[in-house]
Chain A
Amino acid sequence: MQSMRLMATLGVAAFASLIQPAQAQEPIRIGVMFPITGPISAQGRPERDAIKQAFEEENNIIAGRKVELLYEDSAGRPDTGLTKVKALVERNNVHLLVSELVSAVGAAVAPYVNEQKIPWVSTVALASLTREMKSPYIFRYVPSSYQYATAAAESAKKLGWKKVYLIGWNAPPGRETHEALKKAFGPENVIDAMFPNVGTSDYAPYISKMDPSKADGVFAAMWGADAPRITQQYVEYGLSKKMPLFGIASFTSEELLGDMPPESEGLLSSYTYCGTLDTPENKAFVEGYKSRYKELPGSYQYMGYMAAKMVIQAIKDVNGKVEDRQAFTNALSKVQVKGPMGMTSFDENRGMVGDFYALKVVKGPDGRLQNSCGERIPQVKDPYHLFP
């Protein structure tokens, strides 16, 4: 009886070892969830498209294994996002996730992903992902709010700014930008910080409160369609001539420039993507995106594209064996990729590190607004020492 059981076990083991190679031929399944409908869809859809582009450049075969992208729509809502991620993990058995850009969705999904031990390269700027969460499975390929706001403050200081205004969303990125500015300029030099609710359409009350004789410039920490809207109103109230406006993070992202008023020439920013940067990698990225989707890529597309590039390199480094999550996440934390903006990698807490550029909106040769790339700020890292 004992030996019978032993033989059966051995038999099963032998059978399992036989089917092992067949299992390795199974495609690598990657969950790609972005807000495809809802108010953030204008950013979510193109970012997803750029991820698709990165995998297409590899013909969807990496290290000899076919790659299958499984798309979901979070609608930018935490509850929907969590349901969809659960479906990707439990029904579709994805090996890893390259997903999301909305902070609230990121915060809702993170504990579940950590519990399930699914490697996730997120494009959510949530600072807590690489702080309180610190899950070995969660990577963040987008600067955190502290990271981009500190970089912006440093850029502005180089322009001689000493006293500043801030107008930002009444949400974690806006509030964290405030913290970073207070640290960089000194709390007394942030003359006033205003936090309209997300989705405020009329900024007139806030803008007409700003006094150009009291400050050197204004930081704006709001994104998507709110960026052109506040720029428009800033111009209308005659402030753009008296006091420069500095957009935080993706404020001047290429897809938004078309909606900016012509007078927004001179708008400043500092971020990890500059559309007109002259590198072969950037040319390839821009051309590839343009030929597929008939538009110029902006910073959202860049994040998605690079998040995918990091994953592709890590899959190559483990020879396609993504089932070994330990080995895969180890490889991912060591990955270094030369992308459109130069070398980039993950830091010790799995947050993105890469070059930033001082940006200025100018009129391009075709008369349309574009970002001109100013000074390169090498290898900007999340300032953990300032904001633990």
Chain B
Amino acid sequence: MMFWVLQSLNGISYGMLLFLLASGLSLIYGLMKILNLTHGSFYLLGGYVGLAVLHLTKSFILAVLLGSLAIALLGVVMERFLLRRLHLQEMPQTLLTFGLLFIFSDLAMLIWGGNPQTVPKPELFRHSLDIGGMVYPSYRLFIIGFGLFVAAVLWWVQEGTRIGAMVRAGVDNEEIARALGINVSLLFTLVFAFGAFLAALGGVMGGPIVGVYPGADFEVLLLGFVVVIIGGLGSLRGALVGGLIVGLLDNFGKVLFPEFALFTIFAPMALILAVRPTGLFGKE
């Protein structure tokens, strides 16, 4: 029993990190139809910048904020000066983000070197909880809570605010949204930057668990895509449910069938693609 609880918590906490990553990926695709491969870089660079801030200021909160904001700014620059020129040209856009993924990967290697690094945990969550003999790191529980909090905020923004309504309008029909006087161009920049912000958030928050290391960008990108394929592109709910599914599958796959660790993620993905090509919550 304890085994299942422990392993489920592991899977859920990892799933929350994947949700942070995939929600941005999903939002950007939903509104702008950009398959943003640079998303992996956002995650990695967020982790590195956050770590640098942490070393300077010794404050985890500042590391999270500044790390994520810096990458959001990078997102603004990227959208305004590069992606904008290729509006709605899917293939050139994808190739552009693919190239940037490699460039950022090499830049990170140049600046921070090849040595994998771990982000120290905030003081408050450094201990482990002992619940009836079950020892569990409190930081992972915090990640679960934080993920749920972000999900709630995202849902509220999307469903309950004016800007959320504008985004939904843009997703449904860009031209009509423009005709109604919505500044879709500004919306694009905002959403792209926000997606980058979320990915970087995942990078800093995930730092104490998975670390920051060369190649993390490609790894999380792959898992992020599995999440959005399972959950459905463009759907926040899909990103959350998909993240949890992939987190749990990954964890139990490693525990129960260690020899087939990747198979346990990709086989269900293939199955869902076959039955529901748009994913669990994707629009037709």
Contacts and interface: CB of A to CB of B under 8 A. Distances in A.
A37 interface: yes
Given A39-B215, A197-B261, A205-B255, A228 B137 contact: no
A39 B116 CA distance: 7
A225 B137 contact: no
Interface in B24-45: none
A37 B214 CA distance: 11
A110 B114 CA distance: 25
B211 interface: yes
Contacts of A204: 10, 14, 140, 209, 251
Given A39-B114, A41-B114, A236-B128, A208 B214 contact: no
Interface in A322-344: none
A38 B261 CA distance: 25
Interface in B1-23: 3, 6-7, 10-11, 14
A237 B116 contact: no
B113 interface: yes
Interface string A189-233: 000001111010110111011000000000000001110110011
A40 interface: yes
Contacts of B216: 201
B114 A42 contact: yes
B123 interface: no
A261 to B, nearest CB: 9
Interface residues of A, number: 30
Interface in A221-253: 224-226, 228-229, 232-233, 236-239
B258 A232 contact: no
Contacts of B210: 201-202
Given A41-B113, A197-B261, A236 B14 contact: no
Interface residues of B, number: 33
Given A237-B128, A237-B135, A37 B258 contact: no
Interface string B129-169: 01000011100100000000000000000000000000000
Interface string B245-259: 000000110110010
B258 A194 contact: yes
A238 B7 contact: no
Interface string B101-131: 0000000010001111110000000001010
A58 interface: no
B213 interface: yes
B115 A42 contact: yes
Contacts of A196: 254, 258, 261
Contact of A206 (B214, B215, B254): B254
B209 A208 contact: no
Nearest to B215: A199
B158 to A, nearest CB: 30
Contacts of A236: 128, 135, 137
Contact of B213 (A194, A201, A208, A259): A201
B6 to A, nearest CB: 4
Contacts of B109: 37-38
B115 A237 contact: no
Interface in A116-148: none
Contacts of A38: 109, 114, 214
Contacts of A42: 113-115
B254 A208 contact: no
Given A196-B258, A208-B3, A41 B135 contact: no
Contacts of B137: 233, 236-237
A209 B109 CA distance: 34
A40 B115 CA distance: 7
Contacts of A237: 128, 135-137
Nearest to B2: A208
Interface of A: 37-42, 194-197, 199, 201-202, 204-206, 208-209, 224-226, 228-229, 232-233, 236-239, 259
Which 6 A-B residue pairings sit nearest by Cβ, starting from the closest?
A: A238-B135, A225-B116, A201-B210, A42-B115, A236-B137, A205-B254
24 contacts: A37-B109, A37-B114, A38-B114, A39-B114, A39-B115, A39-B116, A39-B213, A41-B114, A41-B115, A194-B258, A196-B258, A204-B10, A205-B11, A205-B251, A208-B6, A208-B255, A209-B3, A225-B116, A225-B213, A228-B118, A236-B128, A236-B137, A237-B136, A239-B135
Given A204-B209, A225-B118, 10 more contacts: A39-B114, A42-B113, A202-B209, A204-B140, A205-B254, A208-B10, A225-B115, A229-B118, A236-B128, A238-B135
